[in-house]
Amino acid sequence: IEAWMLNKQTCLLNPNGIDFPRANVYKGSPNYPDTESLQNAINIFYKRNELPGFAELVTNRKEIIQETIQWDDGLNHVRAGNEIIDLIENTKSDIAKENISQKIQRIKQNLQYKLSPILRFFGLTKNIYQRKKRFNKQELSLYQNELLDEQIEFFKKNKLSKSDLRNIRCI
């Protein structure tokens, strides 16, 4: 499905035929029964930039996408975000209070993280220290800004305002 969303053609090599009862995704790609037919399809792809049989399954792919993730408009993250916003707005603040066990766990993790440069010599927090050392806050910030710029550009291209985005809902 991810390949289809990126406009990439897919195919299957399955000598036993189409025998995937656990998922419907196989219905969206041509199935080649042997290496000879697969190689032939690859050769055609390099000549025409099209896998034989792929275009004919466009309706199947649309149905599979709808059954699996409902939409292919690139806005599922907005739908999920709106559900989270609704949940936060409709949740009483006292529900999220920590119990004593959760509080102890949080304090323990915080201490391990902060003391990991010292405790790593004793092997107690070596993994935590390694992860802390690899984490780069500046790199994260740059990546976040890059993604935000891409999202804003996507929304502008699709002429979506903040109020439009807030109204995008799940079924």
The per-residue pLDDT string of the chain (171 residues; one tens digit each, 9 = 90 and over) reads: 889 988 999 999 887 766 665 578 889 999 999 999 999 999 999 999 999 999 999 999 999 998 888 888 889 899 999 999 988 888 766 656 788 999 999 999 999 999 999 888 887 788 899 999 999 999 999 999 999 999 999 999 999 999 999 999 987
pLDDT at 94: 61
Q: How far apart are CA 40 and CA 34, in angstroms?
A: 10
pLDDT at 97: 79
Q: Give the HSE-up count for residue 18: Cα atoms under 13 Å, Cβ half-sphere.
A: 12
φ/ψ (deg, to 5) at 95: -65, -35
pLDDT at 62: 92
Cα Rg, the chain, nearest whole Å: 24
Which residue shows structure tokens 């920590």?
A: 98
pLDDT at 19: 64
Q: Is the dihedral of CA 45, 47, 49, 51 positive or negative?
A: negative
DSSP codes, the chain: -HHHHTT----EE-TT-S--TT-SGGGGS-EESSHHHHHHHHHHHHHHS--TTTGGGHHHHHHHHHHHHS--SS-HHHHHHHHHHHHHHTS-GGGG---HHHHHHHHHHHHHHHHHHHHGGGTSSHHHHHHHHH--HHHHHHHHHHHHHHHHHHHHHTT--HHHHHT----
